[in-house]
Chain A
């Protein structure tokens, strides 16, 4: 799918919206699973977004300067898991996100950033 420059895909808008929601709940930094769960809760979906789709969208948003990330500090040796990557939404995120039904939510989230929505 080709998209016009300056437009966002629905999944990207969902991520932005979910990130804004998390910020309003006081979660300034979030990791991949948190954002996937937030999107699932918002949409009332049965499944979380696919790994490839989610992480690819997160990478694109980071490239466009909408998100920024940092790796978790080195873990204590007893915690046997890889380090998490935390994302932060940057830009005009203080504006309220309207909790409208699904088709318009992505548009609203994208409007926060002054970007259009690409049609899939």
Chain B
């Protein structure tokens, strides 16, 4: 009952407002018609819009001289607009199709040849995809997870707009490095959890494994260049701390500081795991969206040529 009364009251209020402002509203409609033509690029249509606006004053004066009220005048002007619409549409059709074909061809060209817009479109699509999968997930996701996932995707979209650039390759390399670090953290955690350090063979194997890292640094030229200026420093700077770290690590493992190590390992594992999870899925989603955007460029080109042929 109350809802009915409210809706009736609201309708009356809207009706009275429209009635009070009917004439300004239709005047704006006439102006809008002109701007529609202007947007469509029809010079002739825009010029006729100017004419209509110029003649509108005379028309309103004429209706007033006939004794019409403001509402009646507004209604008559509105009727003239409506009855002329079919002709407006017929006149607009070629401009609309030309505009559509032109726009589609331009979008296609942009998506095929320009990296920034392509990356932006793919980035927005990836964001949508990631957020959709987060929201539709049955596990409740906290705001921190949501922010983290979005930050990862935005970071990718910003960095990967040039897939072949050094920055992008650095990002991918970093992700791979993090995957390796994650694997090491996992091994560490398993070592502590299952007391693998008590096995002598395992200890030797782990030491050898740790000792491999400086070898990678020495062998891999870009890493060497990045980290050190000369080869002389390599032995002292690399091997000594690594060997010391390996010995200290083994000592720590053997002389049970398990709780601390477990917490560290767990923290490292969850952080790296999350980054790998969201980074990997974000990268995959971005790659899919990028491929879809590039593919749709061809579709747009096809549509544009189809519209041009129809004309």
Q: A: which residues have CB within 8 A of B?
A: 31-34, 37, 47-56, 58-59, 72, 81-85
Contact = CB atoms under 8 A, between A and B. Distances in A.
Majority secondary structure of chain B interface residues (helix, strand, loop or mixed)? helix
Interface stretch (B77-85, B151-159, B294-302): B77-85
Contacts of B50: 82-83, 85
B54 A31 contact: yes
B50 to A, nearest CB: 5
A83 B57 CA distance: 12
Interface string B46-62: 01101111110111001
B220 interface: no
Given A50-B85, A56-B91, A84-B55, 14 more contacts: A31-B54, A33-B58, A48-B80, A50-B80, A51-B30, A51-B48, A51-B80, A51-B84, A52-B88, A53-B83, A53-B86, A55-B51, A56-B48, A85-B54
A86 to B, nearest CB: 10
B48 A82 contact: no
7 nearest A-B residue pairs (beta carbon): A52-B84, A50-B84, A50-B83, A52-B88, A52-B87, A33-B55, A55-B48
Interface range on chain B (Cβ under 8 Å from partner)? 20 to 34
Contact of B53 (A47, A49, A82): A82
A33 B59 contact: yes
Interface of B: 30, 33, 44, 47-48, 50-55, 57-59, 62, 76, 79-91
Given A33-B62, A56-B87, A50 B81 contact: yes
10 contacts: A32-B52, A34-B58, A49-B83, A50-B85, A52-B86, A72-B54, A81-B57, A82-B51, A82-B53, A83-B54
Contacts of B89: 52
A47 B79 contact: yes
B66 to A, nearest CB: 11
A10 to B, nearest CB: 13
Contacts of B83: 47, 49-50, 52-53
A51 B81 contact: yes
A118 to B, nearest CB: 15
Contacts of B62: 33, 37
Contacts of B82: 50
Contacts of A54: 84
A53 B84 contact: yes
B86 A32 contact: no
A52 B53 CA distance: 13
Contacts of B57: 81
B52 A51 contact: yes
A37 B82 CA distance: 18
A31 B55 contact: yes
A56 to B, nearest CB: 5
Contacts of B30: 51
A39 to B, nearest CB: 12
B32 to A, nearest CB: 12
